Structure 1
Amino acid sequence: MWELRSLRRYQVITDLSVAGVFGALMLAVELSTRVWPVDAVSAVLLVMAMSAALAVRRLQPGVALALAWVGAVLQMVFGRQPSPTDVAIFAVLYTAAAYGTRRVFWAGFASSLVGAVVIAVYLVVLGRGQEELLQPSVLFSIVAILLAAAFALVLAWVTGALARTAMRAAATSRAQRLAEAETIAEQERVRIARDMHDVVAHSLAVVIAQADGARYAAATDPQAATTALATISSTARAALTDVRQLLTQLRHSQADGPQPTLADLDTLYAQVRAAGVALTVDIDPAPPGEPPAAIQLAVFRILQEALTNALRHGTDRRVDVHLGWLPDRVELSVRNARGETAAVPSAPGGHGLIGMRERAQLVGGTFTAGVDGPWFVVRATMPIGVPA
């Protein structure tokens, strides 16, 4: 309840300046109609209490509320009439509702109600005898003053409560926008990382396979080495183009550039075959039309990663690819012979299987991968809806 709020320097300076000016003006007003020494002392104490409450109203609303009550009690103890100095009470009630803790918030509400009762009783009782207090007109005055004081004090508190609600709504909105921006940025980073992995992993696997093959074949067949180097060159150039495109998107937050389609599968198959893989491709049935671009991209990337895994991990270079373009879905499977000592693709810590699963899930499909006897099989099913 008594913790200090965090304020900026200009806010603290503003509050202290306002309180100082208020105190100087009110002290001049109060002393202009008072006679020394008791009245003057009470005026100084009242102005000091109210000015202090005004100075700390935003820094510590609970202390400001307590100081306002101290000033009110001093005013009643010395029998003083209401004065312009009491205006500080409305500012204190406002800040108690707007900036105070939960306890200060409700303490401000209680203070506005109790203060209204105290004001009504004090103003009517002050200067009247006991017999006068029993008159109906006096009771009516108490009720009238009570309603007027309650309206004024509660209005100040309600205004602060509305400001509190508006500030909290604005803070919630800012937090929500920040969370949404972070989520979008994270999704974009994951997408680019997934594309980068697909491009780099596949290209490097082809380059490594070609380099190893050229090294072994160079002694007996120089032409094989030349062919391998040409494949390495074309694969590296294509990968460099894709990486530059992805880095441009990452740096400048640009929209997606050209993405692979089904037409690029023949190039992919050629790269894999050139790396020494005995690749068999079966497409049955064929696409009934032009599948959605998202499906084409998912099929290409899943095949690219699956063939890369087969190239890197398979001991037997036999790989079978099957694509079935049904009216409502596409079924994809890639099967490569593992051999007895072959490693399972994408061991813990890898990203290949994770990326393929994400590709399938992003378009509403399913993905499985695992050992099936001497084979390692990747399967994906993705809905295509009505062909475009």
Structure 2
Amino acid sequence: MLRPIRRYQLVVDLALAGLFAVVALPIELRVDPSLSFNGLGTTLVVVAMSGALAVRRLSPGLALGIAWAGAVIQMAFGRTPGYVDLAIFAVLYVTAAYGSRRVFWAGFASVIVGAAVITLYVFLPVFGGGGFSLSSVTTAFAVLIAALFGLGLAWTIGALVRTGVRARETRRAQERAETAAATEAERTRIARDMHDVVAHSLAVVIAQADGARYAAAADPNAATAALGTISATARAALSDVRMLLTQLRHSQADGPQPTLADLEQLYAHVRGAGVDLRVDVDPAPRADPPASVQLAVYRILQEALTNALRHGGDGPVEVSLAWHPDRVELRAVNPAAAARADDQPRGHGLIGMRERAQLVGGTFDAGIDGAAFIVRATLPIGTAA
């Protein structure tokens, strides 16, 4: 099986293999010129080992097979181990570093089998060795250990490289997953903010437009005031939407978020739409609450008042805030329209309010209670004194 490697890597491997053949061939020809067929055997062995070097990174399994073929040719011609056999160490390295699972273990098996073959080839008479004797057993054992160490060292280094590459790939995959999760969370937050801004602004615009249409004939001044409110609300919504779209296009810090100081402007928009809004804050906050709590209070109230504009009936809308040392209790009550008294508002609004409360560790509840729709939220703000 061929591995995907870059073109320059293949060119480098081919060039090194060619250089290896050019250097190794004359050296091997001078090792033992008295051997029969020395030129042919040497040439075949050098070609085989050079070929294994050339494809070692492209196909470690093929390189291992070619190296074994070169070793068999070398033994068939009765050649002693030489400089050309150094290519075997490079082949064993790549089998452990870049080979598939089968090639990985085939390289490990080649270490053991290769060490045994080297020992037998050196000492057995059938291969031209001197044979085993009592005095040569220790030497044979030393050769076996040396062959195992040399071949095993090359394979072990490759295995360590393989482990490092796998660890680096795993770390990169985790980083990509964390980045994707963070991006998705940020897009979800922006989508939630977009819903809050657009839904509230459009509700105010619709209410003002309906009021201006009915009042245009009887009171032109009221229609003019309504159009002014529509213009101001639309401009503010457009500014918020532009900021959110900028955050979607660029990885940058969050823009300025609403705080408690912006609640009066929110109340003014709702009152400008013709809603009888009554706000009660008791007790008032003693210090600046955390920014996350301020944002959650603003967004929950914004969505609750938007629902009052879209789904509420005739009558006042009551908002109460109680800022205790360890929590803030929020309550918004609006009269439910008769046509909707048996069905609470549906959509993303309630989900968004519940998520806002849960993000800061609070609780949220909303539903029909008699002839009113009530929104309740309790948000922690610190430890009680």
Do both share a fold (TM > 0.5)? yes
Aligned residue for 1:381? 378
Aligned residue for 2:356? 359
Check conservation: 2:48, 2:69, Cα contact below 8 A.
yes
Say yes or no: does 1:322 pair with 2:314.
no
Of stretches 353-362 and 292-301 in structure 1, the one that deviates more from structure 2 is 353-362
Check conservation: 1:291, 1:387, Cα contact below 8 A.
no
Q: CA deviation at 1:307?
A: 0.7
Equivalent residue runs for 1:57-206 within 5 Å: 57-125=56-124, 126-128=127-129, 133-136=132-135, 138-206=136-204
1:204-256 deviation per Cα after TM superposition (whole angstroms, max 9, x unaligned) = 11111101100101111111111111211222222223223333333343322
Q: Which runs of 5+ in 2 are unaligned?
A: none
**d(CA) in 2 for partners of 1:90 and 1:193?**
58
Query: Which of 25, 40, 50 is the matching residue for 1:27?
Result: 25
Q: Which secondary structure does the structure 1 equivalent of 2:367 belong to?
A: strand
The AA in structure 2 aligned to 1:210 is: Q
1:248-287 deviation per Cα after TM superposition (whole angstroms, max 9, x unaligned) = 3333433223322212212211211221222222323332
Q: CA deviation at 1:102?
A: 1.6
Of stretches 333-342 and 211-220 in structure 1, the one that deviates more from structure 2 is 333-342
Q: Which runs of 5+ in 1 are unaligned?
A: none
Change (3 A) 1:373 1:204: same
Q: CA deviation at 1:345?
A: 6.3
Check conservation: 2:311, 2:337, Cα contact below 8 A.
no
**d(CA) in 2 for partners of 1:10 and 1:271?**
66
The AA in structure 1 aligned to 2:371 is: P
Check conservation: 1:289, 1:387, Cα contact below 8 A.
no
Aligned residue for 1:300? 298
Of stretches 84-93 and 4-13 in structure 1, the one that deviates more from structure 2 is 4-13
Normalised to the residue count of structure 1, the TM-score between the two structures is 0.91
Normalised to the residue count of structure 2, the TM-score between the two structures is 0.92
The aligned length equals: 381
Change (3 A) 1:128 1:291: closer
Aligned residue for 1:13? 11
**d(CA) in 1 for partners of 2:211 and 2:337?**
20
Q: Which secondary structure does the structure 2 equivalent of 1:71 belong to?
A: helix
Q: CA deviation at 1:8?
A: 1.4
Change (3 A) 1:54 1:38: same
**d(CA) in 1 for partners of 2:151 and 2:139?**
18
Q: CA deviation at 1:303?
A: 0.3
Aligned residue for 1:245? 243
Aligned residue for 1:282? 280
Q: CA deviation at 1:297?
A: 1.0
